[in-house]
Amino acid sequence: MWLRTSSREDRGGPPLSRQRIVEEAVALLDEEGADRLTMRRLAERLGTGSTTLYWHVKTKDDVLDLALDAIFAAVPIPEDQNWRAGVTRLIGDWRATLLRHPWSAALLGRPMLGPNVLARSDFLYAALIGAGVVEPHLTAAAFGLSNYVVGSALMQATWLLNADAETRDAARDHMDHQRDRYPALAAHGPLTATDGWDESFERGLGWLLDGVEATIG
Amino acid sequence: MWLRTSSREDRGGPPLSRQRIVEEAVALLDEEGADRLTMRRLAERLGTGSTTLYWHVKTKDDVLDLALDAIFAAVPIPEDQNWRAGVTRLIGDWRATLLRHPWSAALLGRPMLGPNVLARSDFLYAALIGAGVVEPHLTAAAFGLSNYVVGSALMQATWLLNADAETRDAARDHMDHQRDRYPALAAHGPLTATDGWDESFERGLGWLLDGVEATIG
DNA sequence: CGGTCACTCGAACAACGATCCGGTGGAGGG
DNA sequence: CCCTCCACCGGATCGTTGTTCGAGTGACCG
Protein backbone atom coordinates (compact mmCIF):
# COMPACT_ATOMS: atom_id res chain seq x y z
CA MET A 1 0.00 0.00 0.00
CA TRP A 2 2.51 2.66 1.11
CA LEU A 3 4.93 1.23 -1.40
CA ARG A 4 2.54 1.57 -4.25
CA THR A 5 3.62 4.22 -6.72
CA SER A 6 0.70 6.56 -6.56
CA SER A 7 -0.29 7.39 -10.01
CA ARG A 8 0.45 10.82 -11.40
CA GLU A 9 2.75 12.87 -9.24
CA ASP A 10 6.01 10.92 -9.21
CA ARG A 11 6.21 10.54 -12.95
CA GLY A 12 7.51 13.66 -14.58
CA GLY A 13 4.93 16.18 -15.63
CA PRO A 14 1.54 15.76 -17.25
CA PRO A 15 0.09 12.42 -18.30
CA LEU A 16 1.52 10.64 -21.27
CA SER A 17 0.17 11.53 -24.65
CA ARG A 18 1.19 11.25 -28.24
CA GLN A 19 2.10 14.91 -28.29
CA ARG A 20 4.31 14.68 -25.22
CA ILE A 21 6.08 11.67 -26.68
CA VAL A 22 6.82 13.54 -29.87
CA GLU A 23 8.06 16.62 -28.03
CA GLU A 24 10.43 14.55 -25.95
CA ALA A 25 11.56 12.64 -29.02
CA VAL A 26 12.50 15.88 -30.76
CA ALA A 27 14.39 17.01 -27.65
CA LEU A 28 16.24 13.71 -27.47
CA LEU A 29 17.07 13.79 -31.15
CA ASP A 30 18.34 17.35 -30.88
CA GLU A 31 20.58 16.49 -27.95
CA GLU A 32 21.98 13.14 -28.99
CA GLY A 33 21.25 12.48 -32.65
CA ALA A 34 19.23 9.99 -34.62
CA ASP A 35 21.00 6.77 -33.73
CA ARG A 36 20.72 7.36 -29.98
CA LEU A 37 16.94 7.50 -30.09
CA THR A 38 15.71 4.31 -28.45
CA MET A 39 12.26 3.48 -27.25
CA ARG A 40 13.74 2.64 -23.87
CA ARG A 41 15.72 5.86 -23.62
CA LEU A 42 12.75 7.88 -24.76
CA ALA A 43 10.52 6.19 -22.20
CA GLU A 44 13.08 6.78 -19.47
CA ARG A 45 13.11 10.51 -20.20
CA LEU A 46 9.33 10.47 -19.99
CA GLY A 47 9.38 8.63 -16.69
CA THR A 48 7.48 5.62 -17.96
CA GLY A 49 8.16 2.09 -19.01
CA SER A 50 9.29 1.55 -22.55
CA THR A 51 6.39 -0.65 -23.52
CA THR A 52 3.88 1.99 -22.50
CA LEU A 53 4.83 4.04 -25.54
CA TYR A 54 3.28 1.41 -27.77
CA TRP A 55 -0.16 2.26 -26.47
CA HIS A 56 0.12 5.76 -27.93
CA VAL A 57 2.24 4.94 -30.95
CA LYS A 58 2.28 1.96 -33.23
CA THR A 59 5.97 1.68 -34.05
CA LYS A 60 9.21 3.57 -33.63
CA ASP A 61 8.95 4.72 -37.22
CA ASP A 62 5.75 6.49 -36.28
CA VAL A 63 7.66 8.44 -33.66
CA LEU A 64 10.22 9.43 -36.25
CA ASP A 65 7.56 10.45 -38.77
CA LEU A 66 5.77 12.52 -36.16
CA ALA A 67 9.00 14.12 -34.95
CA LEU A 68 10.01 14.99 -38.49
CA ASP A 69 6.70 16.67 -39.21
CA ALA A 70 6.69 18.43 -35.86
CA ILE A 71 9.79 20.51 -36.52
CA PHE A 72 8.20 22.07 -39.61
CA ALA A 73 5.69 23.82 -37.41
CA ALA A 74 8.52 26.30 -36.88
CA VAL A 75 8.51 27.23 -40.57
CA PRO A 76 6.17 30.23 -40.95
CA ILE A 77 3.90 30.33 -43.96
CA PRO A 78 4.84 33.60 -45.65
CA GLU A 79 2.34 36.33 -46.39
CA ASP A 80 4.37 38.35 -48.84
CA GLN A 81 2.59 39.96 -51.74
CA ASN A 82 5.56 39.35 -53.99
CA TRP A 83 5.54 35.67 -54.93
CA ARG A 84 9.30 35.48 -55.24
CA ALA A 85 9.89 36.96 -51.82
CA GLY A 86 7.43 34.53 -50.30
CA VAL A 87 8.94 31.49 -51.96
CA THR A 88 12.45 32.60 -51.06
CA ARG A 89 11.45 33.04 -47.45
CA LEU A 90 9.71 29.66 -47.30
CA ILE A 91 12.63 27.79 -48.81
CA GLY A 92 15.11 29.61 -46.60
CA ASP A 93 13.17 28.87 -43.43
CA TRP A 94 12.71 25.29 -44.58
CA ARG A 95 16.44 24.91 -44.88
CA ALA A 96 17.11 26.65 -41.57
CA THR A 97 14.77 24.28 -39.79
CA LEU A 98 16.41 21.22 -41.33
CA LEU A 99 19.82 22.47 -40.26
CA ARG A 100 18.63 23.33 -36.77
CA HIS A 101 17.70 19.66 -36.35
CA PRO A 102 20.50 17.86 -38.19
CA TRP A 103 19.05 14.42 -37.45
CA SER A 104 16.27 15.27 -39.86
CA ALA A 105 18.66 14.82 -42.76
CA ALA A 106 18.79 11.10 -42.13
CA LEU A 107 14.99 10.90 -42.19
CA LEU A 108 14.34 12.73 -45.43
CA GLY A 109 14.16 9.47 -47.32
CA ARG A 110 10.74 8.60 -45.94
CA PRO A 111 7.32 9.76 -47.12
CA MET A 112 6.52 13.12 -45.56
CA LEU A 113 2.74 13.34 -45.26
CA GLY A 114 2.32 15.17 -41.97
CA PRO A 115 0.02 18.18 -41.78
CA ASN A 116 2.84 20.69 -41.34
CA VAL A 117 4.72 19.49 -44.39
CA LEU A 118 1.57 19.30 -46.51
CA ALA A 119 0.44 22.79 -45.54
CA ARG A 120 3.78 24.27 -46.55
CA SER A 121 3.91 22.30 -49.78
CA ASP A 122 0.44 23.55 -50.54
CA PHE A 123 1.61 27.11 -50.01
CA LEU A 124 4.47 26.54 -52.42
CA TYR A 125 2.14 25.32 -55.16
CA ALA A 126 -0.34 28.10 -54.46
CA ALA A 127 2.36 30.77 -54.62
CA LEU A 128 3.67 29.47 -57.93
CA ILE A 129 0.18 29.22 -59.39
CA GLY A 130 -0.57 32.72 -58.18
CA ALA A 131 2.55 33.95 -59.88
CA GLY A 132 1.27 32.63 -63.18
CA VAL A 133 3.44 29.54 -63.48
CA VAL A 134 1.69 26.94 -65.59
CA GLU A 135 2.36 23.33 -66.49
CA PRO A 136 4.71 21.81 -67.29
CA HIS A 137 6.77 24.47 -65.55
CA LEU A 138 4.69 24.32 -62.38
CA THR A 139 5.56 20.75 -61.48
CA ALA A 140 9.17 21.26 -62.42
CA ALA A 141 9.37 24.40 -60.27
CA ALA A 142 7.80 22.82 -57.21
CA PHE A 143 9.88 19.68 -57.55
CA GLY A 144 13.04 21.58 -58.29
CA LEU A 145 12.73 23.92 -55.33
CA SER A 146 11.85 21.12 -52.93
CA ASN A 147 14.59 18.86 -54.16
CA TYR A 148 17.13 21.65 -54.07
CA VAL A 149 16.47 22.59 -50.47
CA VAL A 150 16.37 18.95 -49.37
CA GLY A 151 19.62 18.15 -51.11
CA SER A 152 21.35 21.23 -49.80
CA ALA A 153 20.35 20.60 -46.23
CA LEU A 154 21.25 16.93 -46.51
CA MET A 155 24.74 17.63 -47.75
CA GLN A 156 25.46 20.44 -45.34
CA ALA A 157 24.13 18.50 -42.37
CA THR A 158 26.27 15.57 -43.42
CA TRP A 159 29.47 17.53 -43.54
CA LEU A 160 29.18 20.29 -41.03
CA LEU A 161 26.91 18.99 -38.34
CA ASN A 162 26.72 15.23 -38.21
CA ALA A 163 30.33 14.47 -38.98
CA ASP A 164 32.52 14.92 -35.94
CA ALA A 165 35.74 16.89 -36.06
CA GLU A 166 37.97 13.87 -36.47
CA THR A 167 35.98 12.70 -39.48
CA ARG A 168 36.38 16.09 -41.09
CA ASP A 169 40.10 16.17 -40.37
CA ALA A 170 40.56 12.66 -41.70
CA ALA A 171 38.70 13.64 -44.84
CA ARG A 172 40.92 16.67 -45.27
CA ASP A 173 44.07 14.58 -44.89
CA HIS A 174 42.64 11.98 -47.26
CA MET A 175 42.19 14.69 -49.87
CA ASP A 176 45.60 16.23 -49.27
CA HIS A 177 47.35 12.94 -49.87
CA GLN A 178 45.59 12.55 -53.22
CA ARG A 179 45.90 16.12 -54.34
CA ASP A 180 47.32 15.06 -57.69
CA ARG A 181 44.53 12.61 -58.36
CA TYR A 182 41.74 15.13 -57.81
CA PRO A 183 43.35 18.45 -58.64
CA ALA A 184 40.25 20.55 -59.22
CA LEU A 185 38.47 19.09 -56.23
CA ALA A 186 41.42 19.63 -53.91
CA ALA A 187 41.80 23.22 -55.02
CA HIS A 188 38.16 24.28 -54.84
CA GLY A 189 36.32 21.42 -53.15
CA PRO A 190 33.85 21.72 -50.31
CA LEU A 191 36.46 20.77 -47.73
CA THR A 192 38.67 23.71 -48.54
CA ALA A 193 35.83 26.22 -48.55
CA THR A 194 33.51 25.17 -45.77
CA ASP A 195 32.23 28.67 -45.32
CA GLY A 196 29.90 30.32 -47.77
CA TRP A 197 27.29 27.59 -47.64
CA ASP A 198 24.57 30.13 -47.09
CA GLU A 199 25.73 32.36 -49.89
CA SER A 200 26.07 29.46 -52.32
CA PHE A 201 22.64 28.21 -51.37
CA GLU A 202 20.97 31.52 -52.09
CA ARG A 203 22.87 31.92 -55.34
CA GLY A 204 21.63 28.59 -56.63
CA LEU A 205 18.14 29.35 -55.39
CA GLY A 206 18.27 32.58 -57.35
CA TRP A 207 19.18 30.69 -60.52
CA LEU A 208 16.24 28.38 -60.06
CA LEU A 209 13.84 31.25 -59.43
CA ASP A 210 15.19 33.16 -62.42
CA GLY A 211 14.35 30.15 -64.56
CA VAL A 212 10.88 29.89 -63.11
CA GLU A 213 10.27 33.60 -63.53
CA ALA A 214 11.30 33.45 -67.16
CA THR A 215 8.44 31.07 -67.89
CA ILE A 216 5.81 33.59 -66.78
CA GLY A 217 4.20 35.70 -69.40
CA MET B 1 39.06 -36.84 -42.29
CA TRP B 2 36.25 -37.60 -44.73
CA LEU B 3 33.98 -35.46 -42.68
CA ARG B 4 36.27 -32.50 -42.83
CA THR B 5 34.92 -29.72 -45.01
CA SER B 6 37.66 -29.47 -47.56
CA SER B 7 38.56 -25.93 -47.89
CA ARG B 8 37.65 -24.09 -51.05
CA GLU B 9 35.29 -25.99 -53.28
CA ASP B 10 32.15 -26.31 -51.18
CA ARG B 11 31.95 -22.65 -50.41
CA GLY B 12 30.54 -20.71 -53.30
CA GLY B 13 33.03 -19.36 -55.77
CA PRO B 14 36.43 -17.79 -55.25
CA PRO B 15 37.94 -17.08 -51.84
CA LEU B 16 36.52 -14.31 -49.75
CA SER B 17 37.80 -10.83 -50.34
CA ARG B 18 36.72 -7.32 -49.66
CA GLN B 19 35.71 -6.88 -53.28
CA ARG B 20 33.57 -10.01 -53.31
CA ILE B 21 31.86 -8.90 -50.13
CA VAL B 22 31.01 -5.54 -51.64
CA GLU B 23 29.71 -7.07 -54.85
CA GLU B 24 27.44 -9.40 -52.95
CA ALA B 25 26.32 -6.56 -50.69
CA VAL B 26 25.25 -4.52 -53.72
CA ALA B 27 23.37 -7.51 -55.10
CA LEU B 28 21.64 -8.10 -51.79
CA LEU B 29 20.74 -4.43 -51.47
CA ASP B 30 19.35 -4.37 -54.99
CA GLU B 31 17.19 -7.41 -54.37
CA GLU B 32 15.89 -6.75 -50.88
CA GLY B 33 16.57 -3.16 -49.88
CA ALA B 34 18.63 -1.42 -47.26
CA ASP B 35 17.00 -2.65 -44.08
CA ARG B 36 17.33 -6.32 -45.06
CA LEU B 37 21.09 -6.14 -45.30
CA THR B 38 22.46 -8.06 -42.35
CA MET B 39 25.94 -9.29 -41.73
CA ARG B 40 24.52 -12.76 -41.19
CA ARG B 41 22.46 -12.71 -44.38
CA LEU B 42 25.35 -11.33 -46.35
CA ALA B 43 27.66 -14.01 -44.99
CA GLU B 44 25.12 -16.69 -45.77
CA ARG B 45 24.96 -15.60 -49.41
CA LEU B 46 28.74 -15.75 -49.52
CA GLY B 47 28.78 -19.23 -48.03
CA THR B 48 30.76 -18.24 -44.95
CA GLY B 49 30.15 -17.54 -41.31
CA SER B 50 29.00 -14.10 -40.37
CA THR B 51 31.95 -13.34 -38.16
CA THR B 52 34.39 -14.03 -40.96
CA LEU B 53 33.33 -10.83 -42.65
CA TYR B 54 34.91 -8.85 -39.85
CA TRP B 55 38.33 -10.00 -40.93
CA HIS B 56 37.95 -8.20 -44.26
CA VAL B 57 35.82 -5.30 -43.10
CA LYS B 58 35.85 -3.33 -39.90
CA THR B 59 32.15 -2.60 -39.41
CA LYS B 60 28.87 -2.88 -41.24
CA ASP B 61 29.02 0.81 -42.01
CA ASP B 62 32.19 0.12 -43.97
CA VAL B 63 30.25 -2.32 -46.14
CA LEU B 64 27.62 0.32 -46.78
CA ASP B 65 30.19 2.99 -47.60
CA LEU B 66 31.97 0.64 -50.00
CA ALA B 67 28.71 -0.45 -51.64
CA LEU B 68 27.60 3.14 -52.08
CA ASP B 69 30.84 4.11 -53.78
CA ALA B 70 30.86 0.96 -55.88
CA ILE B 71 27.70 1.77 -57.79
CA PHE B 72 29.16 5.05 -59.06
CA ALA B 73 31.65 3.11 -61.12
CA ALA B 74 28.75 2.78 -63.57
CA VAL B 75 28.66 6.56 -64.10
CA PRO B 76 30.89 7.32 -67.10
CA ILE B 77 33.08 10.39 -66.93
CA PRO B 78 32.00 12.40 -69.98
CA GLU B 79 34.39 13.48 -72.68
CA ASP B 80 32.24 16.07 -74.39
CA GLN B 81 33.89 19.18 -75.69
CA ASN B 82 30.87 21.27 -74.78
CA TRP B 83 30.97 21.80 -71.01
CA ARG B 84 27.21 22.01 -70.70
CA ALA B 85 26.68 18.76 -72.54
CA GLY B 86 29.26 17.04 -70.35
CA VAL B 87 27.80 18.34 -67.10
CA THR B 88 24.29 17.47 -68.22
CA ARG B 89 25.36 13.95 -69.05
CA LEU B 90 27.21 13.49 -65.77
CA ILE B 91 24.31 14.72 -63.66
CA GLY B 92 21.84 12.63 -65.64
CA ASP B 93 23.87 9.44 -65.28
CA TRP B 94 24.42 10.22 -61.63
CA ARG B 95 20.69 10.40 -61.11
CA ALA B 96 20.05 7.26 -63.17
CA THR B 97 22.51 5.30 -61.05
CA LEU B 98 20.92 6.47 -57.82
CA LEU B 99 17.51 5.44 -59.09
CA ARG B 100 18.74 2.08 -60.32
CA HIS B 101 19.81 1.33 -56.74
CA PRO B 102 17.03 2.88 -54.67
CA TRP B 103 18.59 1.84 -51.39
CA SER B 104 21.30 4.39 -52.07
CA ALA B 105 18.86 7.18 -51.25
CA ALA B 106 18.87 6.16 -47.62
CA LEU B 107 22.67 6.28 -47.52
CA LEU B 108 23.18 9.72 -49.02
CA GLY B 109 23.41 11.24 -45.57
CA ARG B 110 26.89 9.88 -44.94
CA PRO B 111 30.24 11.25 -46.06
CA MET B 112 30.99 10.08 -49.59
CA LEU B 113 34.76 9.92 -49.94
CA GLY B 114 35.21 6.85 -52.12
CA PRO B 115 37.39 7.03 -55.22
CA ASN B 116 34.51 6.78 -57.67
CA VAL B 117 32.59 9.63 -56.10
CA LEU B 118 35.68 11.81 -55.78
CA ALA B 119 36.73 11.25 -59.38
CA ARG B 120 33.32 12.33 -60.65
CA SER B 121 33.15 15.32 -58.34
CA ASP B 122 36.57 16.31 -59.60
CA PHE B 123 35.31 16.13 -63.17
CA LEU B 124 32.40 18.39 -62.26
CA TYR B 125 34.70 21.05 -60.82
CA ALA B 126 37.11 20.73 -63.73
CA ALA B 127 34.33 21.09 -66.28
CA LEU B 128 32.98 24.20 -64.62
CA ILE B 129 36.43 25.72 -64.30
CA GLY B 130 37.11 24.91 -67.94
CA ALA B 131 33.89 26.65 -68.89
CA GLY B 132 35.12 29.82 -67.26
CA VAL B 133 33.05 29.75 -64.11
CA VAL B 134 34.83 31.64 -61.36
CA GLU B 135 34.25 32.13 -57.65
CA PRO B 136 31.90 32.70 -56.00
CA HIS B 137 29.82 31.19 -58.78
CA LEU B 138 31.99 28.07 -58.99
CA THR B 139 31.25 26.77 -55.52
CA ALA B 140 27.59 27.68 -55.85
CA ALA B 141 27.36 25.85 -59.18
CA ALA B 142 29.06 22.68 -57.99
CA PHE B 143 27.06 22.64 -54.77
CA GLY B 144 23.83 23.48 -56.49
CA LEU B 145 24.14 20.80 -59.14
CA SER B 146 25.17 18.13 -56.63
CA ASN B 147 22.48 19.04 -54.18
CA TYR B 148 19.87 19.17 -56.90
CA VAL B 149 20.59 15.71 -58.22
CA VAL B 150 20.83 14.24 -54.74
CA GLY B 151 17.56 15.81 -53.66
CA SER B 152 15.77 14.77 -56.83
CA ALA B 153 16.89 11.18 -56.61
CA LEU B 154 16.10 11.05 -52.92
CA MET B 155 12.55 12.26 -53.38
CA GLN B 156 11.81 10.13 -56.40
CA ALA B 157 13.28 7.02 -54.82
CA THR B 158 11.20 7.69 -51.74
CA TRP B 159 7.93 7.90 -53.61
CA LEU B 160 8.21 5.70 -56.63
CA LEU B 161 10.57 2.96 -55.65
CA ASN B 162 10.90 2.46 -51.94
CA ALA B 163 7.29 3.05 -51.02
CA ASP B 164 5.17 0.03 -51.74
CA ALA B 165 1.90 0.29 -53.62
CA GLU B 166 -0.27 0.30 -50.52
CA THR B 167 1.68 3.21 -49.08
CA ARG B 168 1.13 5.16 -52.28
CA ASP B 169 -2.57 4.34 -52.36
CA ALA B 170 -2.96 5.27 -48.70
CA ALA B 171 -1.21 8.55 -49.41
CA ARG B 172 -3.53 9.24 -52.31
CA ASP B 173 -6.61 8.55 -50.19
CA HIS B 174 -5.16 10.65 -47.40
CA MET B 175 -4.87 13.56 -49.82
CA ASP B 176 -8.31 13.02 -51.31
CA HIS B 177 -9.97 13.22 -47.94
CA GLN B 178 -8.30 16.55 -47.23
CA ARG B 179 -8.73 18.04 -50.64
CA ASP B 180 -10.21 21.21 -49.21
CA ARG B 181 -7.36 21.70 -46.77
CA TYR B 182 -4.63 21.51 -49.42
CA PRO B 183 -6.36 22.64 -52.59
CA ALA B 184 -3.35 23.53 -54.70
CA LEU B 185 -1.46 20.45 -53.62
CA ALA B 186 -4.36 18.12 -54.33
CA ALA B 187 -4.88 19.61 -57.77
CA HIS B 188 -1.27 19.65 -58.92
CA GLY B 189 0.71 17.74 -56.31
CA PRO B 190 3.23 15.00 -56.98
CA LEU B 191 0.72 12.27 -56.23
CA THR B 192 -1.58 13.30 -59.02
CA ALA B 193 1.17 13.64 -61.58
CA THR B 194 3.60 10.85 -60.87
CA ASP B 195 4.79 10.78 -64.42
CA GLY B 196 7.00 13.45 -65.87
CA TRP B 197 9.70 13.10 -63.22
CA ASP B 198 12.37 12.90 -65.88
CA GLU B 199 11.06 15.88 -67.77
CA SER B 200 10.73 17.98 -64.62
CA PHE B 201 14.22 17.00 -63.56
CA GLU B 202 15.76 18.13 -66.81
CA ARG B 203 13.78 21.34 -66.81
CA GLY B 204 15.07 22.30 -63.38
CA LEU B 205 18.58 21.26 -64.38
CA GLY B 206 18.29 23.54 -67.37
CA TRP B 207 17.37 26.48 -65.15
CA LEU B 208 20.39 25.88 -62.96
CA LEU B 209 22.72 25.61 -65.95
CA ASP B 210 21.22 28.75 -67.48
CA GLY B 211 22.08 30.57 -64.29
CA VAL B 212 25.61 29.21 -64.29
CA GLU B 213 26.10 30.03 -67.95
CA ALA B 214 24.98 33.59 -67.39
CA THR B 215 27.90 34.17 -65.04
CA ILE B 216 30.48 33.40 -67.71
CA GLY B 217 32.08 36.23 -69.55
C1' DC C 1 -21.07 -2.48 -5.74
C1' DG C 2 -19.75 -4.63 -10.12
C1' DG C 3 -18.02 -4.10 -14.45
C1' DT C 4 -16.07 -1.84 -18.26
C1' DC C 5 -12.47 0.68 -20.39
C1' DA C 6 -8.27 3.42 -20.99
C1' DC C 7 -3.94 2.91 -19.77
C1' DT C 8 0.56 0.95 -17.67
C1' DC C 9 4.52 -2.11 -17.44
C1' DG C 10 7.63 -6.35 -16.21
C1' DA C 11 9.06 -10.32 -18.64
C1' DA C 12 10.19 -12.25 -22.65
C1' DC C 13 11.43 -13.14 -27.70
C1' DA C 14 13.82 -12.84 -31.93
C1' DA C 15 17.18 -10.46 -34.40
C1' DC C 16 20.98 -7.49 -34.71
C1' DG C 17 26.23 -5.78 -34.66
C1' DA C 18 30.23 -6.96 -32.74
C1' DT C 19 33.99 -9.54 -29.99
C1' DC C 20 36.57 -13.51 -28.00
C1' DC C 21 39.11 -17.21 -28.72
C1' DG C 22 40.10 -21.55 -30.40
C1' DG C 23 40.79 -23.57 -34.69
C1' DT C 24 42.88 -24.90 -39.76
C1' DG C 25 45.57 -25.36 -43.57
C1' DG C 26 49.09 -23.92 -46.71
C1' DA C 27 53.62 -21.70 -47.39
C1' DG C 28 58.34 -21.46 -46.26
C1' DG C 29 62.53 -22.33 -43.61
C1' DG C 30 65.43 -25.74 -41.30
C1' DC D 1 60.06 -34.25 -44.00
C1' DC D 2 58.64 -31.67 -40.17
C1' DC D 3 57.89 -27.63 -37.68
C1' DT D 4 56.45 -23.04 -37.21
C1' DC D 5 54.08 -19.22 -38.48
C1' DC D 6 50.24 -16.57 -39.95
C1' DA D 7 46.43 -15.24 -42.87
C1' DC D 8 41.99 -16.61 -42.50
C1' DC D 9 37.80 -18.85 -40.60
C1' DG D 10 33.70 -19.50 -37.47
C1' DG D 11 30.98 -21.29 -33.11
C1' DA D 12 29.67 -19.34 -28.91
C1' DT D 13 28.45 -15.38 -26.73
C1' DC D 14 27.51 -10.52 -25.12
C1' DG D 15 24.82 -6.39 -24.95
C1' DT D 16 21.22 -3.87 -27.27
C1' DT D 17 17.37 -3.21 -30.14
C1' DG D 18 12.08 -3.18 -31.60
C1' DT D 19 8.10 -5.35 -30.43
C1' DT D 20 4.55 -8.57 -28.20
C1' DC D 21 2.05 -10.83 -24.38
C1' DG D 22 -0.55 -10.81 -20.63
C1' DA D 23 -1.33 -9.42 -16.15
C1' DG D 24 -2.34 -5.69 -13.78
C1' DT D 25 -4.46 -0.73 -11.95
C1' DG D 26 -7.44 2.96 -11.21
C1' DA D 27 -11.19 6.08 -12.72
C1' DC D 28 -15.81 6.31 -14.08
C1' DC D 29 -20.74 4.70 -15.15
C1' DG D 30 -24.80 2.29 -14.23
Q: B145-181 b/e with 16+ CB inside 10 Å = b?
A: bbbbbbbbbbbbbbbebbbeeeeeeebeeebeeeeee
Q: What does the pLDDT read at residue B3?
A: 39
From chain B, the residues in CB contact with A105 under 8 A are: 109
Q: Which pLDDT score is estimated for B194?
A: 60
pLDDT tens track, chain B, 217 positions? 343 344 444 444 566 789 999 999 999 999 999 999 999 999 999 999 999 999 999 999 999 999 999 999 999 999 999 999 999 999 999 999 999 999 999 999 999 999 999 999 999 999 999 999 999 999 999 999 999 999 999 999 998 776 777 777 888 888 888 889 999 998 887 766 567 899 999 999 999 999 999 999 7
Q: Would the Cβ of B40 be found within 7 angstroms of any atom in strand C?
A: yes
Nearest to A98 by CA among A144, A141, A161, A145: A161
Which residue, counting CA atoms, is nearest to the C1' of nucleotide D7?
B55
Domains and CATH numbers, chain B: 18-57 (1.10.10.60), 74-213 (1.10.357.10)
- pLDDT for res B115: 95
From the alpha carbon of B62, which nucleotide's C1' atom is closest? Answer: C17
pLDDT digits (tens, 9 = 90+) for A7-22: 444 444 566 789 999 9
How many CB atoms neighbour CB A54 within 10 A? 13
Closest CA to B189 of A108, A92, A138, A130: A138
For B107, what's the count of Cα atoms within 13 Å in the CB-facing half-sphere?
26
Q: How far is the CA of A8 from the C1' of D28 (A)?
A: 17
Q: What share of chain A is helix, strand, coil (3-state, %, to 5)?
A: 70, 0, 30
State the pLDDT at residue B1: 34
CB contact under 8 A, B143 and A210: no
| Contact call for B150 and A148, based on CB within 8 A | no
Band of residue A5 on the pLDDT scale cut at 50, 70, 90: very low
